[in-house]
Structure 1
């Protein structure tokens, strides 16, 4: 189940569209999640770009099962307002971009946590429309953009999400952005058509260049 039915409630202006992921892009995720895990006697070991298998008990060093990891993530999302903060430069950059483009957040998160995320985003001065879905992102971006002859941008930290959007919205500027440098080094490399942004300032330069084409 997803809350992408709320797509029908989104009204775009006659201007470019920026669709952005949230975790590790707009909000810090890995650093707060590590702090959350430590409060539960677990640690996240940077051995590969995945959670399952890399979350271990602090004392026994036993890896948490896939079900246990899922439960930890669910609890984290339910209490995200206690842990997560805005990524460096995200609030200011999106505020500036919002003067010339519509901005929509598309987060890969169980929709039951969307209300908690909405409250946190509002508190952090990130008031843009939010869609929470566990569905592939490409078809959602395609429906949002609707084939308009206007620039569209998609920002995400996960290669498969960028690839999904590339397949369904080929005119889209794809930007790979990730707040945590340690785990970014472990991430699969995105396709060559993807702009790898060092930070939000770098992303903004690429976005504005795309708008002017």
Structure 2
């Protein structure tokens, strides 16, 4: 199903909307992926803010090819429910925010892995609508929110996704949040207009402040 068609199936109420990425934001990704690689005699080294070139084969010490890295990532997503856990305070904070806003998960992964992710999120008590897409996130977020004059929040760990939403839904509050502190330290600083949250508690403060400034009285 095309991502826009799936997005059109998500009903929204007349209240703020939070669209959030999943990996490294709602669910731990890098830490469990590192453990997954270790179990397969590979390692992910925190040398730069990327996967390509940083995954090594421990048996020879060489970085694996981009094709091998993609194969390992594909294998991880197939069994993600055995490895991934919630980011700190993600479950509790989203539950609190859901009392005031609609929440949608927009995850940048092949849609074929969405059923496993859906089941994992449900087990964890994160039963918010899920869209899995490899398309740019900006047009999707714009399509989801439509022309509603209500606050919109977008949360992601990757800057180009935040840039995409900034370009297509410029009124949204943009939050850069990343669970793994080691790799977060390697990330480029975000430009003006993108807020950095160290954790979900700080993200919640930014969100509620934005609602107070933008919700019609």
Aligned residues: 213
Q: What does residue 55 of structure 2 align with?
A: 55
Q: Distance in 2 between matches of 1:37 and 1:152?
A: 37
8 Å CA contact 1:2, 1:110 repeated in 2? no
Higher mean Cα deviation, 2-11 or 159-168? 2-11
CA drift of 1:147 comes to 2.1
1:212 is paired with a residue whose SS is: helix
1:1-213 to 2 correspondences below 5 Å: 3-213=3-213
Deviation (angstroms), 1:59: 2.6
Structure 1: gaps of 5 or more residues: none
- Note the C-alpha offset of 1:4: 4.2
TM-score, normalised via structure 1 length:
0.98
Query: How far apart, in 2, do the equivalents of 1:5 and 1:78 lie?
Result: 24
Task: Report the CA distance between 1:5 and its aligned residue.
Answer: 2.3
How far apart, CA to CA, are the structure 1 residues paired with 2:192 and 2:185? Answer: 17
- Say whether the 8 Å CA contact 2:4–2:143 is kept in structure 1: no
- Native 8 Å contact 1:80 1:116 kept in 2: yes
TM-score by length of 2: 0.96
- Cα RMSD after superposing both structures: 0.9
Unmatched 5+ stretches in structure 2 = none
Q: What SS does the corresponding residue of 1:190 show, helix, strand or coil?
A: coil
Q: Using the TM superposition, give the Cα deviation of residue 9 of structure 1 relative to its aligned residue in structure 2, in angstroms.
A: 1.2
